[in-house]
């Protein structure tokens, strides 16, 4: 008997556009560099100011009107408000630019643009609807505590090393990762930062908090480290691949993903102690990984958004 699989696939392809609302796309397209998920909302950003928004239960993505053509490198959404308040978020990028939204990404406004357009933000963290921190090239560090009405620039370490990523643990502790072995920790929501003893002198591209105390630090040339004491000490993890480990993600199932080089997505089933390569990983470099409200995983990068199928 002939297989019905090709027919089923063909029917699914024909029906998919009908399942999407007008103006929606099955997946975001173009170079994508970061994503954020909060509640039912997912947002991804990338080249030429592109902003894509998806809201569960729909599976489609809609491209938002963007007030910039500058490349956007980071996006963050504040935790959902218990009283149903505004869905606040920020996007940052080249030209020292900060954008803000108060409706879950449907509309965006410029909140900040530095005088030196050579400055580039690389990441942003939303602690709540009023407090956000943006970090970037040459030690760029900016924070707001009034929802983006005003922004304060600070220097949190000596020198001009790039600050690549900022993250927050379940305990509320903040971590900064950057060039030249930069690892910083703050236990007071960014008022004060303490340097951590880095396990190597090269660049870190992120600190991934797994819980209140456990961390994964990832960087260049496959450097991967685990800490069980909020970064006071580190243990090297056998690298699953040699290359830039650009991003990490803890899934709701407690599986851990690390990504970066083409065809080299790594998975841990033992809470970050060991990693193995995932078959069928994206063929292009991965800049970010996100888990959508329905539990599906997308890899963001040169090929847009690529679904990740875990073994």
Q: DSSP readout, 3-26?
A: -SHHHHHHHHHHHHHHHSPTTEES
pLDDT of 196 strictly over 90: yes
- For residue 137, give the 3-state DSSP assignment: helix
User: What does residue 134 show for φ and ψ, rounded to 5 degrees?
Assistant: -115, 140
Lowest mean pLDDT among 5-14, 56-65, 169-178, 291-300: 5-14
Residue 221 — left, alpha, or beta (φ > 0 → left; ψ -120 to 50 → alpha)?
A: left
Output 258 or 2, whichever has higher pLDDT: 258
CATH number of 22-308: 2.130.10.10
pLDDT recorded at residue 166: 99
Lowest mean pLDDT among 30-34, 57-61, 93-97, 118-122: 57-61
pLDDT recorded at residue 11: 33
- Which string of b and e fits 80-103 if b means at least 16 CB within 10 Å? eeeeeeebbbbbbbbbbbbbbbbe
pLDDT recorded at residue 10: 40
Least Cα distance to 205 among 253, 161, 252 occurs for 161
User: Is 89 in contact with 105 (CB distance < 8 Å)?
Assistant: yes
Average pLDDT, the chain: 92
Lowest mean pLDDT among 52-61, 78-87, 138-147, 298-307: 78-87
pLDDT recorded at residue 235: 98
In the chain, % of residues over pLDDT 90:
83
Per-domain residue ranges of the chain: 22-308
Q: Which helix (H) or strand (E) holds 182?
A: none
Lowest mean pLDDT among 15-19, 207-211, 223-227, 261-265: 15-19
CA distances for 21 relative to 77, 102, 105, 106, 284, angstroms: 24, 22, 17, 15, 29
Which residues partner with 159 through β-bridges? none
Kindly list the strands in the beta sheet with 141-144, ordered across the sheet, starting from the edge strand earlier in the chain.
Answer: 121-126, 132-136, 141-144, 152-153
pLDDT recorded at residue 116: 75
Q: What's the rounded Cα separation, in Å, for the pair 193 and 18?
A: 51
CA distances for 18 relative to 1, 11, 253, angstroms: 30, 11, 32
pLDDT recorded at residue 78: 97
pLDDT of 274 strictly over 70: yes
Which residues partner with 290 through β-bridges? 298
CA distances for 194 relative to 25, 75, 216, angstroms: 44, 25, 18
pLDDT of 1 strictly over 70: no
């Amino acid at each position: 008997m002939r297989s019905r699989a090709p027919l089923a696939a063909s029917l699914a392809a024909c029906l998919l556009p009908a399942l999407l609302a007008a103006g929606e796309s099955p997946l975001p397209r173009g170079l994508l560099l970061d994503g954020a998920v909060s509640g039912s909302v997912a947002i991804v950003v990338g080249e030429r100011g592109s902003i894509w928004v998806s809201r569960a239960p729909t599976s489609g993505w809609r491209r938002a009107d963007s007030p910039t053509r500058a490349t956007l490198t980071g996006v963050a959404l504040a935790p959902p408000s218990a009283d149903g308040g505004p869905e606040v978020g920020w996007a940052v990028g080249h030209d020292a630019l900060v954008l803000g939204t108060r409706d879950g990404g449907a509309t965006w406004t410029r909140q900040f643009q530095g005088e030196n357009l050579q400055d580039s933000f690389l990441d942003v963290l939303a602690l709540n609807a009023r407090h956000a921190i943006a970090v970037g090239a040459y030690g760029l560090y900016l924070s707001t505590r009034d929802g983006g009405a005003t922004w304060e620039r600070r220097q949190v370490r000596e020198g001009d090393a790039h600050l690549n990523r900022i993250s927050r643990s379940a305990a509320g502790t903040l971590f900064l990762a950057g060039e030249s072995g930069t690892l910083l920790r703050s236990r007071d929501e960014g008022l004060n930062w303490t340097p951590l003893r880095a396990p190597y002198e090269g660049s870190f591209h992120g600190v991934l908090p797994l819980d209140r105390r456990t961390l994964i630090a990832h960087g260049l040339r496959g450097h991967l480290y685990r800490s069980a004491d909020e970064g006071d000490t580190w243990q090297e993890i056998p690298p699953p691949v040699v290359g830039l480990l650009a991003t990490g993600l803890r899934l709701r199932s407690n599986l851990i993903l690390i990504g970066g080089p083409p065809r080299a997505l790594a998975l841990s089933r033992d809470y970050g102690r060991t990693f193995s390569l995932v078959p069928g990983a994206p063929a292009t470099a991965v800049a970010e990984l996100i888990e959508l409200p329905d539990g599906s995983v997308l890899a963001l990068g040169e090929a847009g958004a690529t679904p990740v199928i875990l073994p």
